[in-house]
Amino acid sequence: MKIKDVRIVHMMRYETLEHTADILVKCTGSTLEECFENAAYALFDQMVDIGTIEKKEKFSLTVVAEDAESRLHLFLSELLFMMDADSAVMSSFTVRFNGNEVSCIAHGETLDLRKHRPKTEIKAITYHMMNINENEPSVTVLFDV
């Protein structure tokens, strides 16, 4: 029974948690890298219909920061910037850690408002309520809308 419960948790990428004004998500995975991948997935899934995004283009990014919270914040903020500046929407993410560096290869395409059906405009990634649990592993992030 316990093994079945673990499998169910790892199949779910993220869940939304109660918050009065913004979007609070908790992302789980088998590793902290997978949690970062699932946080990126949650970000785009909250902004557009992620199921409509095709893997036509490859995107890469690297961020460096001293602590895990700053790495998560910079990583998600850079993805949000890519959406805002380049109209890039992504649905697949591979994250690797190397010391204080987070590298990501993502796949997606250029935003098409008719195809991708916008949901919620996310203005920023916040540190408020951010939590990284390496033991579970999970990350909790608040998206400012």
DSSP per position, 8-72: HHHH--EEEE--SSSEEEEEE-SSHHHHHHHHHHHHHHHHB-GGG----EEEEEEEE-SSHHHHH
* pLDDT over 60 (residue 97): yes
The DSSP symbol for 122 reads -
| Burial degree of 114 (CB within 10 A; 0-12, 13-18, 19+) | exposed
| Residue 136, beta-bridge partner list | none
Q: Is the pLDDT of residue 8 over 50?
A: no
- For residue 139, is it left (φ>0), alpha (ψ between -120 and 50) or beta? beta
Place 6 in a pLDDT band, splitting at 50, 70 and 90.
very low
List, for residues 72-84, the tens digit of each pLDDT value: 999 999 999 999 9
pLDDT at 5 over 50: no
**pLDDT bracket for residue 11 (50, 70, 90):** low
Sorted by sequence, the CB contacts under 8 Å of residue 81 that are 6+ apart come out as: none
Q: How confident is the model at residue 2 (pLDDT cuts 50, 70, 90)?
A: very low
Q: How far is CA 45 from the centre of its chain?
A: 9
In contact, 16 and 118? CB cutoff 8 Å? no
pLDDT at position 18 is 87
At 67, list the tokens.
Answer: 């602590």
- Domain 2-144 matching CATH 3.55.10.10: the answer reads yes
The pLDDT assigned to 20 comes to 83
pTM recorded for the entire structure: 0.90
